[in-house]
A = this chain, B = another copy of it.
């Protein structure tokens, strides 16, 4: 426990949410659903979860979406939902990249707000068409560059904006991973398959998959526009069709210089997105794998280690912070794991079956009794100054 809880996020009206993509076997769809549930401001009520009708229906059932709102076709879904009085307010698009454009277009035209996974589209032409459509529609269009949602990224942006770094000179951004070091796509791994397939990912591979996150993060924090690039895209794995490593020099407006490296063939790197920005007064350093820390170094002073919720942060970070400093966000998941195991035991009991044996790890009343025994013995020992049995 700590100082300033943030307890008022579950309130207010819930929005009706639909989803396109994200059925069984998908990855990012589940992430979007958890994100939507976390603060209790969305209710998932409709979906077109898969192109295969049976998988679409099965996914809907698992997700508590009523059968009549489990669609097999996203065009039909847009029409039907737009026509309902209780139709969805907003749709999440979590399909492979090449479908983003068509789906977004249909829902925007149906007057429905859109939350879309990145990258926007697979061609610049489509992207510009979509941008025009968003403007004319008046609807909200959110691209889930999720790294902009971290409290310390918000703070970093605010710092740069307030001039605390001085004039920005050098930007170093990198995003190495290692999961495509071998030709994983040849093994049938779904995530690898579509991400290395030009027909579904577009003309860039690693650069589009993760380089785009790096680009967006750098833009978000520094606010600087890139004027020119010098790029070296390489495909290291034999037989792969798209780049798996990108090394880029950048010239920014106003004279700053930068380097961007993204790679999916760098053993030992899980998800190493890291941004460093150097101005003439100070530098900052933030890494996604340790996201609750931002190191700020003002010239002539010792580096300061800012933490989420800790001293020195401002409103930008506070409004996207749920739990006190020192509690990594895994804190919420640790709790959720106990709730999940409890649900399993309760339901299994209700259904007359044996619960998953792993749920036997749940802490229970006996743990509580034992802890009290321990504390009691400690209290006695502290008072008497001698060893005390439990």
Contact = CB atoms under 8 A, between A and B. Distances in A.
A24 to B, nearest CB: 7
Interface in A168-188: 169-170, 172, 174, 176-179, 181-182, 184
Interface in A52-105: 62-64, 89-90
A340 B265 CA distance: 34
Contacts of A9: 30, 340
Given A324-B271, A372-B127, A390 B154 contact: no
Contact of A382 (B5, B233, B319): B233
Contacts of A90: 342, 346
A9 to B, nearest CB: 7
Contacts of A177: 2, 326
Number of copies: 4
Contacts of A231: 377-379, 381-382, 388
A26 B5 contact: yes
Interface string A218-244: 011000011111111110100000010
Given A64-B40, A143-B368, A30 B6 contact: yes
A146 B331 contact: yes
A310 B289 CA distance: 13
B335 A271 contact: no
Interface string A356-380: 0010011111111111111111110
A194 B272 CA distance: 38
For chain A, which range describes its interface: under 10, 10 to 19, 20 to 34, or 35 or more residues?
A: 35 or more
A346 B38 contact: no
5 contacts: A89-B346, A131-B365, A269-B297, A272-B326, A320-B337
A294 to B, nearest CB: 9
A162 interface: no
A18 interface: no
A41 B388 contact: no
A341 B9 CA distance: 11
B330 A143 contact: no
Given A10-B30, A145-B363, A207-B379, 5 more contacts: A150-B334, A212-B371, A231-B379, A263-B278, A267-B297
Nearest to A340: B39
Nearest to A32: B335
Contacts of A20: none
Contact of A261 (B120, B172, B176, B292): B172
A63 B10 CA distance: 6
A190 to B, nearest CB: 9
Contact of A266 (B115, B170, B178, B305): B170
Task: List 3 A-B pairs, minimum CB-CB distance, nearest first.
Answer: A120-B368, A268-B297, A270-B326
